[in-house]
């Protein structure tokens, strides 16, 4: 996956987190407005929260040549349209032609986030550099 970025954010609601995610995912091939529209469109179908305080907002952008990702850890959990609040998000944008690959990435991410030790380590990481290190060492097939 290209350009995986990490951030610790004070964002207070789903809309501001999606805007932050779109900005982190943006590149020359896909601007933040296009990415935000794609993330919103997917969230409108149903929440991308997967439990344990995790959400994986994702969307497709025809201009992308490879997937992009961003890990966001919130300072406080927020309502993400699911049973429990969310404080860890992995936002992802994939090329428009990705179908099988998109599902495989989502599956791999969900599997990694199902590990309580990994979730706890992400929540305890002292800064964005530590988050990126954890992500790259625990999800080598994804990041």
* Active site residue ranges: 58
- Identify the CA nearest to 81 among candidates 59, 51, 117, 104: 51
User: CA dihedral in degrees (112, 115, 118, 123; nearest 10)?
Assistant: 110
Distances in whole angstroms, Cα of residue 100 to Cα of each of 9, 25, 71, 95, 103: 31, 21, 22, 11, 5
* Chain centroid offset of residue 62 CA: 18
């Amino acid at each position: 996956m290209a350009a995986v970025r990490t951030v610790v954010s004070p964002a207070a609601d789903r809309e501001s987190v999606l805007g932050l995610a779109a900005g982190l995912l943006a590149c020359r091939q896909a601007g933040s407005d296009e990415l935000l529209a794609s993330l919103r469109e997917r969230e409108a179908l149903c929440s991308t929260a997967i439990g344990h305080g995790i959400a994986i907002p994702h969307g497709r952008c025809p201009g992308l040549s490879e997937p992009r990702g961003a890990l966001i850890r919130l300072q406080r959990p927020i309502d993400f349209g699911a049973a429990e609040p969310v404080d860890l998000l992995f936002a992802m944008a994939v090329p428009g032609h990705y179908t099988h690959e998109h599902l495989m990435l989502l599956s791999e991410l969900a599997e990694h986030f199902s590990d309580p030790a990994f979730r706890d380590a992400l929540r305890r990481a002292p800064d964005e550099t530590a988050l990126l290190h954890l992500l790259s060492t625990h999800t080598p097939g994804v990041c």
